[in-house]
Amino acid sequence: MKNEKLENILFKQNFSKEDVIYLLSLEEKRDIESLFRKADQVRKDFCGEEVHLRGVIEISNHCDQNCLFCGLRDDNFTVKRYRMEPDEIIETAAKLVKLGIYTIVLKSGEDRKLDTDIIAYIIYSIKKSTNVAITLSLGERGLDEYKTWKIAGADRYILRHESCDSKKYAYYRNKKTHTNRIQQLKYLKRLGYQIGDGTLIGLPLQTIDEIADDMLLFQEMNTDMIAFSPFIPSPFTPFQNKPAGSIELTLKAIAVARLLLKNVHIPATTALDSLDPQGKEKGLNCGANILMPNYTPYPYRESYRIYPNRRDSNSDPFDSHKMLVDRISNIGRDISFSRGDSLRNSSFLHL
């Protein structure tokens, strides 16, 4: 029998919170397939068949924070800490450009010893000879630092708010505040950064209602990129014995975000691929249009252990590039040859 309520919602252009909760709560296989099919169509209409690759370099795994979910938390004494040298980072970026990757993501823990001017020097050096986009994912930093890095040439900043419930946020992130995170995202947008945000799906105590609020917040913030990762329990963290987030709910979140925000960029995350060998394909088939492969060189890549058994931590990053290209073409999609800048208008005046 046809689910008329679902058909009606899928036909809408604007969605209420109740609609979002309804879609995220779908349980019948046929209904979920309808949702995914619709999200795939919207992705096709607004983003085309291109998959944008964002090449990630994990430049430091030092972290001053103690988030309860993250393997890199300061208290985890089992992590072998590293900080890449500026020249190593610049050389790795140059290799990525040769591979045909047009966005470089510089990612780290919240490492206050990553110096403002050195990061600016790295950004400037990478941009000097190429027109790649640079995305920073360095955690919460000072407002002046964001400005310096923008002037040096950075284009985008990822700061996932993880959970929009401010009490739980303070609990998950060990007393950091949700308000501050959102303020920083707004400031980044005003500086002209394209902003990336996201939610961890399946954090202990999280509800569907909260994930719906996350979606509405992305809409309000005019977010340019949204990532959904299933929570994966990590040893030597307070959440080590908690269950992992659901793959299905993560895929539903991707699909719903696609319906709501139409032309937003959405990755099929590495965490999704680590829990499910077909994670990338599944994500790309229900609304996602970007991948964020990891090109951190040896020996560092083994030590960036946000969670265990990361799918991408063992193989040689440049060998697995070929496999990645095959996985994309096997599902009939094309690799993009552009920077894949935001498709959304850059309005920030209401923020």
Segment interacting with ligand SAH, rule: CB under 6 A, options 89-97, 119-127, 159-167, 338-346: 159-167
Residue 106, number of CB atoms within 10 A of its CB: 25
Which residue is listed with tokens 């690799």?
Answer: 335
162 touching ligand SAH, by CB under 6 A: yes
Answer for the pair 123, 79: CB distance below 8 angstroms, yes or no. Answer: no
Q: Minimum Å distance from CB 283 to ligand SAH?
A: 14
69 touching ligand SAH, by CB under 6 A: yes
Q: Which is nearer to ligand SAH, 10 or 134 (CB)?
A: 134
Q: Binding mask 190-209 vs ligand SAH (x if CB under 6 A, - otherwise)?
A: --------x-x---------
Q: Which is nearer to ligand SAH, 153 or 238 (CB)?
A: 238
Segment interacting with ligand SAH, rule: CB under 6 A, options 120-128, 158-166, 286-294, 340-348: 158-166
Q: Minimum Å distance from CB 199 to ligand SAH?
A: 8
Answer for the pair 132, 162: CB distance below 8 angstroms, yes or no. Answer: no
Task: Tell me the C-alpha distance between 145 and 115, whole Å.
Answer: 9
Task: Tell me the C-alpha distance between 124 and 118, whole Å.
Answer: 10
How many CA atoms within 13 Å lie on the side-chain side of 278? Answer: 8
Segment interacting with ligand SAH, rule: CB under 6 A, options 24-32, 103-111, 128-136, 313-321: 103-111
Q: Binding mask 245-274 vs ligand SAH (x if CB under 6 A, - otherwise)?
A: --------------------------x---
Q: How far is CA 327 from CA 41, 44, 277, 294, 349, in A?
A: 20, 18, 11, 15, 40
- Token pair belonging to 49: 């068949």
Q: What are phi and psi for residue 290, nearest 5 degrees?
A: -135, 160
Task: Tell me the C-alpha distance between 56 and 7, whole Å.
Answer: 39
Total residues at interface with ligand SAH (CB under 6 A): 19
DSSP state for residue 301 in the 8-state scheme:
G
Residue list 304-333, contact with ligand SAH (CB under 6 A): 306-307
232 touching ligand SAH, by CB under 6 A: yes
By the criterion CB under 6 A, which residues form the site for ligand SAH? 69-70, 107, 109-110, 137, 139, 159-160, 162, 198, 200, 229, 231-232, 234, 271, 306-307
